[in-house]
Structures are given as C-alpha cells and as structure tokens.
Chains A and B, each alone.
Chain A
Amino acid sequence: MKIVRMSVLAAALAVLPALAQDLSMIDLALKALGEAGVPPRSCSTSANPSCSYVQICSDLSAQRNSPYLYENAAGERIPNFNYQALASLVMQCGKKNGLYDKAPATPISGLLDYARWLVEQPAELQVKLNRIDLAYADAAYGQTLSARLEGESQADYTTRQLTEAAQRAGIRIDEALTDAIERKVAYQLAMASASLQTAPATDWDKVPERVREVMQDPFLNPEILSQENEVGSRAREQFNKKAGEISNLANEVRAQTLQVLQDQKARYPERAESLEGMSVRLRTASVTFVVDPYELKNFCPSPNAFYDPTQHVLKICPQMMGMPKEHLRMVIGHELGHSVDPCGASCPLHVVFAQGETQYSIADLGSAFSGVPGIGTAVVAPGITYPENPFREVLSCLATPESLNARLADPVRARALLEEQLRLERAAGLDSARTEQLLAQLPRLMSDYAGCSILPGNSRQQEAFADWLAAEAVALSGSATNLTEVGGMFYAVECAGVTPDLASVIMPILQQNNCVGAGEQGGIENLLPDVYQAGMYLGQLQQIQDDSHPATVDRINRLFRMQPKLREKMGCGAEETSGSYCAP
C-alpha cells in the first residue's frame, strides 16, 4: 500500500509545479547532473592525426560525457548529439516540474488544493481515480468519447465523462468517489484555464549550466531562434554571422568543384560540352539556410543538409552550421555534387524567369508556363545519359568492391515487378496499357538513368559520386585538416561508445521526478522466440543496406581517406589503406 501511495504522490507532484518547486533536492540533483560532463578537449589534432575510423571513434568516445566530442584550436566543435538528447530530457523534466520557470504573474488557484487533498486520501480511492483517468484518456485516444450535449456546461460534461470512464473501468461510484470526481472536475477546469494562459517564461539562471549551454545554442537547439527575447535575439545574431561565413565558404567550395570539372575537361576535351552543362548546374545552384519555423520543423528534426533538385537549391539546417569548417566544406561539396550526380546530370535543368526573378528546376517548368505572357523559360543544361556521363570511369570504379561497391539501378528487379503487374492486370481484365508502355521503355530508362536511386535497386551511385566530388574539392582547398574534422558528424552519429555514461545517473533522477516510469524495460518483443529476434534484426539490416548512402565506415575509409592529395593534407600518407582510389 505504501508503494501505491508513494506512486500516487509522485504522480500528483508531477502535475503540480508549485509542490515540486518546494523540493530543492530535485533542482540540486539536476544541477549536479547537468554539470557532470567534463570539458571538451581537442583530440586527434593535426599534430597527431588519426587516420583510422576505429581509432577516431575510440578517441571521441572519451568525450562521451561532454556536450561536444571534439574541439580544435580554432574553437570549432563536433557536437555530441546523445548528450544533447539527455540535456533536452533534463530540460523537459525540469520544465514539467516548474523548476526553471519565472514566477507566473498571477498564481493559479485550485491546483495546489487538489494535490494536497489527494495525497491525504486512502490508497484505494487514489488507485480508483487513477484508473478512471486512464479510462477517460483511453476513450479520448480511441475517439470514442460521447459527444457534449446541447447546453451542457464544461463542468457537467467533464463530470459525465469521468462517470462514464468509471463505468468502463468497472468502478462503482460511491459517495467518496462522487466527492473526489467533483474535486477533480474543479481541478481539471483550473488546469484547462491554466493551459490557456501563456506558458511561464524560462528563468535561465535556474537551468544547470551545461543544459543551458546546449539549449541556448541555435546550432544545437534551433527552436531558440524563434524566441522573442534576449536569448532569441543573441541566437539570431550568432546564426546570421555564421550564415555569412558559410555562404563565403560555399563559394570557395563551388570554385573548387568547378576546378575538378575543368581538370576533367583538360583530360577529355571531347567531353567539353557535357562538362560545360555540369558547370552551369554548379554555378547556378543556390545555397540557403533553413530558418523558417515550418521548414525547421519539417526538414531539420536533426542535423541535415540536402540538395533539392526541384528548386536547384542546397539547404543547410542550423544543426549543421556549428560544425568544423572542414566538415562543412565536405558537406557543401557533397550537396553541390548532387546537382551534377549521375541522376541529377541525367535530367535536363530548366529555368523560368520573370521580372528579374529566376527559378531553376529539374521539373519541366517550360511546359507549366508555356504561353504565359511575361514569363520566359529555357533548358540551361541538357540531360546527360548515364553511359555518356563525363565521369563514367569514376562511376564504374565507384561500383567496384575495391571502392564503395556503389550499385546501379537493377533492371532485372524492375522487369520482374512490371511483368508480375502485367500478369495480374491481364488476369483481372484491367487496362494494362500503362504497364505495357513502361515495359517497352524499360531498357532505355534503366540504361540512361542507371545512376538514379529512385529506380528499383536503389542505386548508390548518386551518393558515391557526391562523396567523390566532395573529396576532390576538399583536396583542392589550401586549408589544413584531419580525418576527424572531414568526417565530423558521421562519427557523432555512427560511432559506438559516444553515448554518455551519464544516462545511468540521469535516468534514476528523472524517475524520482516522475518523468520516467519505474521498472520499464522495453516491450514484449524482447521475450519473443529466436526466429522473431533474428527476423527483426535482419529486417533492420535490410533497411540499412537498402539505403542509397554507402555505409559510413566505407565512405570514410574507402573514399575520404583514399584521395591522394587529401591523404597528404590529413597526414595519412603513410597509413595502411583498405580500398582503392577512383582516379578521374
């Protein structure tokens, strides 16, 4: 019974900021926890560069309890995403318990009274109320709540819902429970009214230093950019400054990728025309930073940078912007590379212009705006088929097992899919004209667009070529670097061992604050027979191997570590290698 009473008390505390605020122990524990990480240190610097993926992961894992895994002499850092996730949990738990709030302008009455009353009640009543609550929430989730009657007040409606929930939970309503429901309704109305008020502002002085550092950094927590206060304004200033620096860097990288094309033209003068088409694509691709809240939410749930061929634009999320310059150079080179990768280059690039505005796209904008007065359209770079790609030797090399094993689209799989569809359509007496037409076009499609990951087989040629071009561009830059900085985020995402040990310290504290349920050790899937376990694991492997990106360890070891000039720059010249370089 004591346990039941304690858990109900904890539940009451969790929903009542005022009571939780009295518990200064919670605040102290969270503060200690937030400051437990050791300061970041520089590892694998140019003075002692590591050229082994495994060694770099091992070096970085020494910083697993810090917000950053790596910091160079210029103060550039590779963030520790796992630490940040923990910091967010602490912040969320602290906010939930009202620990980091500025005092509300008007205190909310009624909430405290109900909690004080509830913890004094017999355990049996508390358990019943908890079950009624769950039954009410289950009906809300299942969309099976009965409708509000005409003229029914909110209080009456909530009372009826709680009564119906009690019936569903098989709980008989006696006098004590009637009284409890009445109190609960008053409490719920107060809660609803409180939720209509603006959420209390954060008192940043109360937030543990390390957690504050993460939550106020626009490159770690971009949501801070939309806050209309001093913290938000400081974040926007930081963001704009960095955006200016990265724009300049993007122009530098663009010039280096153009140089790679120029060098190829010198090697193969007969390919000048197609290389010129690629140069146009690289020159006209624009670079933008995601800052609009809608785009932030939809494109940047975590660090991201991508090339959107429908707008011919490279978009960079804030979480990427704080990375070391040499990592950004690689990422920009990679994304610009997508504008000329074997799929991008195989589609014509269109332009629409009107009143000084220009929009590029691989979509046929000419057809969409045909005949519209005042709007001009043109094809600025024709498509280059896969067999005619001016980097065809590189593409073939990237497909070899010695390099990235970057597969092409799979014509056998595509044919099998269409033939089966045709059989089914014919058997069902359906119109099969479209399938027949596709089947007839298949040999051309699978040959001309063999580098497109959208086709069956999920070609890895696009990603492999974008990496290759990035490595060539980074090699051309005059700046010093090392493999840790070039790989940057890949290590933070992929290395085993960078997850903070702090999790084992933090979780019990979150549990004590009723932010994490006690004794929850995963779901029933862990208890299923071997075949299920193996099936789930194989399913995950299949998903990973179906990805259009080559494996990270291969990208680092077999590509970035193999470019001869880059190897020298990174101090990896004499190191053993595990792949072969794809020379242009």
Chain B
Amino acid sequence: MRLSILSLVFISFSAWGISTPLFRHQLTSRTAVGAQKKWEFARTPKGYRLNGLVLSSERVIRQGESLKVLQETQPTKTSACPAGTYTFRTNRPNSKEVVERGCLGTVRFGQLRDVFEQLARR
C-alpha cells in the first residue's frame, strides 16, 4: 500500500516535472561597503514567485519580452569593481547552476535589476 502511494507520488511528480518549467533566477548585489541585496524570480510547482511573494501569471505575461534578459546569461567580467559586484545565478532542474558575475554600475546590472523591478511594479 505504502509502496503504491509512493509510486503514485513519484509518477505524479515526474509528470509534473516534465510538463512544468521550474527555475530560479537570483540576483545578488554586494556594494563596496559590504551591504547585500537579493532579488529572486522563481517558478515553483505552485506558480510564480518574486522575492518570496506570490506573483500573478498576468504580470509574467505582461513582461514576456523583457524576461529574455534573464535567460541570456553573459560571461563573467573580471575587471575591477569599485562600486561593488553582482552575482546572477540561474538554477534549472537537471542542469548545472549558471553563474554570472559583474560590476555594479554597468549596463548589464541595470538591465537585470530593471527586470526584477518591472515584475514587482503594479
């Protein structure tokens, strides 16, 4: 009985896993004085989340085009970063975490931050 329940859970979970794109984009900034800020946009089996808060599907649909910025990870830049650094991580099931690092104050950081802020806007 227990085994069959487990199998059922496993099968449903696998089916759900195949049909549902689960991912997490996380942007963390660390300023020159050491203060950190984190943004997180995730798709969970229950739906979309932004910074841990529920995000309506409508908001994602409205931002569709601009979400490309999150999916086109850029190579890490290793120049000196006087204002501080950012780390942009993308996690997807069955693939290695993708990590991009760069400097605060760059166009790329602005782009990334914009996406998270647009999603948060009403």
Contacts and interface: CB of A to CB of B under 8 A. Distances in A.
A298 B110 contact: yes
Contacts of B80: 453-454
A191 interface: yes
B3 interface: no
A137 B48 contact: yes
B75 interface: no
Contacts of B63: 140
B53 A93 contact: yes
A320 B122 contact: no
Contacts of A191: 58
A510 B67 contact: no
A307 B63 CA distance: 36
A92 B120 contact: yes
Contacts of A159: none
Contacts of A493: 33-36
B7 interface: no
A306 B114 CA distance: 22
* Tier of interface size on chain A: 35 or more
B82 to A, nearest CB: 5
Contact of A138 (B20, B36, B46): B20
Nearest to B65: A143
Nearest to A15: B56
Interface in A300-340: 300-309, 315, 317, 319-320, 331, 338
A315 B47 contact: no
Contacts of B65: 143
A133 B68 CA distance: 20
Contacts of A338: 82
A489 B56 contact: no
Given A297-B110, A520-B46, A145 B122 contact: no
A497 B19 CA distance: 42
A303 B35 CA distance: 6
A136 B113 contact: no
What secondary structure prevails in chain A residues at the interface with B? helix
A319 B63 CA distance: 29
Interface in A99-134: 130, 133-134
B54 A302 contact: no
B42 to A, nearest CB: 8
B79 interface: yes
A134 B46 CA distance: 9
A143 B121 CA distance: 21
Interface in A259-316: 294-295, 297-309, 315
A89 B52 CA distance: 10
B20 A15 contact: no
A297 B60 CA distance: 22
A47 interface: no
A108 B105 CA distance: 39
A298 B43 CA distance: 26
Interface stretch (A64-72, A237-245, A511-519): A511-519
B82 A309 contact: yes
A549 B85 CA distance: 13
Contact of A315 (B29, B58, B67, B83): B83
A134 B22 CA distance: 12
Contacts of B121: 199
Given A15-B58, A494-B34, A510-B53, A141 B43 contact: yes
Interface string B47-83: 1110111101110111111011001000000011011
Contacts of B120: 92
A504 interface: no
B12 interface: no
B105 A298 contact: yes
B14 interface: no
A549 B33 CA distance: 9
Given A14-B56, A136-B57, A308-B82, A298 B113 contact: yes
Contacts of A92: 53, 120
B34 A306 contact: no
**In this complex, which of A133, A294, A315, A549 has the most chain B Cβ atoms within 10 angstroms of its Cβ?**
A133
8 contacts: A143-B71, A298-B106, A298-B109, A303-B35, A304-B84, A306-B82, A338-B82, A520-B49
Given A170-B19, A297-B114, A304-B104, 18 more contacts: A11-B56, A130-B47, A133-B57, A134-B47, A136-B57, A137-B60, A140-B61, A199-B122, A295-B105, A298-B110, A301-B29, A302-B29, A304-B33, A308-B83, A454-B79, A516-B54, A517-B47, A520-B52
Interface of B: 19-21, 24, 29, 31-37, 43-44, 46-49, 51-54, 56-58, 60-65, 67-68, 71, 79-80, 82-84, 91, 104-106, 109-110, 113-114, 120-122
Interface of A: 11, 14-15, 81, 89, 92-93, 95-96, 130, 133-134, 136-138, 140-143, 145, 169-170, 188, 191-192, 195, 199, 294-295, 297-309, 315, 317, 319-320, 331, 338, 453-454, 489-490, 493-494, 510, 514-517, 520, 523, 549, 552
Which 5 residue pairs across A and B have the least CB separation, nearest first?
Answer: A140-B64, A304-B31, A137-B57, A302-B35, A306-B32
